Structure 1
Amino acid sequence: MSVSAPGRAKSGRRAATAGARRVATLAFAAQGVSVAAVYTTVPAVTEHQGLSPLLTTTTLVAVALAAGFGSFLGLAAVRVAGPVATMRGALLTAAVALTLIGRAPGPQTAVCAYVLFGIAVGALDVGINTRAAAIERAYGRSVFGSFYTAWSVGGVLAALLTAGAARLDRPVGDGLAVQAGILLLVACCLRTHVLPSSQEPSAQPPLGRRLWLRLLPFGLVLLVVYVVDSTVSAWSAVYLRQTLAASLTVAPIAYAAYQAGTVVGRASVDRLVHRVGTVAVVRTAALVVAGALAGMAMAPSWPFAVLAAGVVGLGASVLAPLCLASAARLRPAASETVLARLNLFNYAGVLTGGAVSGVLGSTGEFRLAYAAPAALALLVLAGARHFTRPLGTSEA
């Protein structure tokens, strides 16, 4: 029996959409690897380069600022070359930056490499989230959670690679070179698939003031999420090393536990949203994050802190994808512009969390650095009512 032309066209659209989803999943996983590679090697790079606590804090703040700049470069690249080409270029740049961080002959080169990494990861953010929003529209249902699950899996892998390299007494540059190689491999595997509902991002109508007001609640929630994320991601290894006397082998395990928690949370988020509704998921996640951060602040030893970090990841993991997906649905035809602007809150959160935690840590008050975001996480409860239901679902 021959297949009709409409049937073949429909099958082709499904194949293209599935292919685009696979490519985006790879890119999200690669970004998870890159971010984890940077954060989990901070203690080793600090000791290898002889960086002072203040310079380490300043460098991580510079990464956040560079990422904000990179998001605007990414927006321009998406408009000119498309999201897939933007993703590929950003991954290649991030791979170069990781290699330079590991092989830097001195502190100045290392700091410049960190800044280059920030620019790359900011551009990558815009590319992958723009592509993810388009894929979700093509599917007609919530799929954002699956992309961020891949991000977290990549983070766990990179953290374990860092711990393994330390266990084998390998130089930090060797571990970063392996992780850079993963990014290069993914960049070479990226392919462009034409989505059924894809539209050229050029010639978009301007975003009005009313839309910015509707974006504000999502921006504030995203800011809180990334204050929490940067506090755990950027400083958990240093916290275990300096405050809880963990070894260089053990220090990255808190990040691995955090990302393992995010794998579980993000793998479940799409089903939870369909079952109980977006608002209920967001509110529950905020309470879980607040309690777990308090547990990290009071941790008597590193195993307790590792467990608490995993629970933080479980709660925090669902908030960013739901926030980005809801915001992208406000203006589907201009999602790349919406997400680029929303990313400013992302980097503001990273900047705030990283700077405050670093300053408190450099003065010996790392426990307070985890107690403060615990209270801040409760603010997410106020913004939960603004979250929109995913396509094809109804709120409980």
Structure 2
Amino acid sequence: MSVSTPGRARIGRPADRAGARRATTLAFAAQGMSVAAVYTTVPAVTEHLRLSPLLTTATLVGVALTAGAGSFLGLAAVRVAGPVATMRGALVTIAVALTLVGWAPGTATVICAYVLFGLAAGALDVGINTRGAAIERAYGRSVFGSFYTAWSVGGVLAALLTAGAARLDRPVGEGLAVQAGVLLVVAVCLRTHTLPAAQVPYAQPPLERGLWLRILPFGLVLLIVYVVDSTVSAWSSVYLRQTLDASLTVAPLAYAAYQAGTVVGRATVDRLVQRVGTVAVVRTAALVVAGGLAGVATAPSWPIAVLAAGVVGLGASVLAPLCLASAARLRPGAAETVLARLNLFNYAGVVTGGAVSGLLGSTGEFRLAYALPAALAVLVLAGARHFTQPPGTSET
């Protein structure tokens, strides 16, 4: 970043704002890659280490629980060192965790590696979303969708890499090591860019009780979104493998299709918000999610399930970024605190979806695991009215 005078730094130059957006976009993509790397390799890790279905379910639920704890570690790190330093540290830790997952010699090691991943992923969540909220304030319009588009692109690439490694009969550790290397490169490349002086200090007074009540609708919507997301992300590969008799090469494709759908949805969400309004976008997305999940639940073969997973991604993709952006606008001066608390609903959804889906799958009822979230998706319609427009736009 070039040197600027104090006066110009206070105003905030477009180059600084754009640089911050590029760096944060890269971090979102890295997180999407890391999550996909973990979830799409579950079948291979399970078969390699001969883990029981119940242990696999418990481990994935443990990842979500530790991620919840990690979000508070991330909040503390953001307040002390800022979001960019938090992002760097979390990415390095995730790279270590992925390497350990891939080359774990036994059950104890792989469980510890998954726990480490969960803690770092939670911290990274707070870092990237806090930075994203600040950048959206600097732009004065909806840009959160572009960050989550990058997240989804990273997920697609990681899922395809997992499928390719399986196709070539390479050990799961090799693929995860490659993805860990990518994360390290991203961590090294991250830079801090100046944002407009309207940005406020990270240390803020406690949230008042009335604000907690205003956060609750977003928390409930986010919980439902992540029940859906964890059901597809954590278990779609296992569902294709066990219920639809797909090969290890094909099994990751449902996750890839899901993330490809999110790429399309998130690439268009900012423009859709400006054109038809946030509430209309949220309501339409909820109906699309319900239809896609019904398609996955009733799919007679893996190609149909893959296509339906893509439809789920198309609808689910817009809900989380709009939820986070609307919640952050409730208290712009304490966005990191709001988002850290909101992450509790995120991980509650991941735990609920992951646990219920895993338990149903272990009893041979994977189809029911996708039918139940379809009903929950319709409940998002009730929470849509609480979503707000970004500054500079208006509802139509």
TM-score under structure 2 length normalisation: 0.97
Q: Percent identity?
A: 85
Residue 74 of structure 2 aligns with which residue?
74
Query: Which residue in the other structure is 1:88 paired with?
Result: 88
Q: In the alignment, is residue 331 of structure 1 matched against residue 368 of structure 2?
A: no
Q: Is 1:135 aligned with 2:135?
A: yes
Letter in 2 for 1:70: G
Q: For 1:8 and 1:113, how far apart are their aligned partners in 2?
A: 45
SS of alignment partner, residue 13 of structure 2: helix
Give the corresponding residue for 2:150.
Answer: 150
Q: 1:49 to 1:273 in 2, by over 3 A?
A: same
Matches of 1:79 and 1:279, distance apart in 2: 32
Matched residues in 1 for 2:15 and 2:271: separation? Answer: 23
Task: Give the aligned residue type for 1:200.
Answer: P
User: Which residue is equivalent to 1:126?
Assistant: 126
Q: Secondary structure at the match of 1:124?
A: helix
Matched, 1:303 2:303: yes
In the alignment, structure 2 segments of 5+ residues that lack a partner are none
Q: 1:252 aligned to 2:249?
A: no
Alpha-carbon distance between aligned partners in 2 of 1:8 and 1:279, rounded to the nearest angstrom: 37
Show the counterpart of 2:99.
99
Does residue 159 of structure 1 match 2:159? Answer: yes
CA distance in 2, matches of 1:189, 1:108: 33
Amino acid at match of 2:107: P
Tell me the CA shift for residue 198 of structure 1: 2.5
User: Aligned partners of 1:200, 1:266: CA distance in 2, in Å?
Assistant: 30
Residue correspondence of structure 1 range 1-396 to structure 2 within 5 A? 13-196=13-196, 197-202=198-203, 204-396=204-396
Q: Deviations over 1:345-380 (max 9, x none)?
A: 000000000000000000000000000000010000
Structure 2 residue identity aligned to 1:201: Y
Q: How far 1:7 moved relative to its partner? A: 11
Amino acid across the alignment from 1:69: A
Question: How many Å separate the matches in 1 of 2:301 and 2:10?
Answer: 57
Cα distance in structure 2, aligned partners of 1:211 and 1:177: 43
Q: Distance in 1 between matches of 2:205 and 2:15?
A: 31
Contact 2:9 2:194 in 1 (8 A): no
- Give CA-to-partner distance per residue, 1:8-63, whole Å, 9 cap, x none: 66996111111100110000000000000000000000000100000000000000
Deviation string for 1:135-154 (max 9, x for gaps)?
Answer: 00011111000000000000
Q: For residue 183 of structure 2, what is the amino acid of its counterpart?
A: L
Q: Distance in 1 between matches of 2:229 and 2:188?
A: 29
Aligned partner letter, 2:41: T
After superposition, the C-alpha distances for 1:192-227 in whole angstroms (9 at most, x for unaligned) are: 11211322202x121001000000000000000000
Deviation at 1:390, TM superposition (A): 1.3
Partner Cα distance (1:56, 1:6) in 2: 54
* 1:379 match: secondary structure: helix
CA RMSD of aligned residues (A): 1.3
Structure 1, unaligned stretches of length 5 or more?
none
Q: Distance in 2 between matches of 1:391 and 1:352?
A: 34
User: Distance between the aligned counterparts of 2:112 and 2:10, measured in 1?
Assistant: 49
CA distance in 2, matches of 1:272, 1:18: 22
Q: Which amino acid aligns with 2:242?
A: Q
- SS where residue 378 of structure 1 aligns? helix
Deviations 1:102-151, CA, capped at 9 Å, x for gaps: 01010110011001000000000000000000000011111000000000
Q: Distance in 2 between matches of 1:368 and 1:26?
A: 36
After TM superposition, give the deviation of residue 391 of structure 1 in Å: 1.6
Conserved? CA contact 2:12–2:195, under 8 Å: no
Paired residues in the alignment total 391
Alpha-carbon distance in structure 1 between the residues aligned to 2:10 and 2:208: 36
Residues 21/43 of structure 1: CA separation in 2 closer, same or farther (3 Å cut): same
Q: Partners of 1:11 and 1:339 in 2: how far apart?
A: 26
| Alignment partners' CA distance in 2, 1:147 and 1:192 | 17
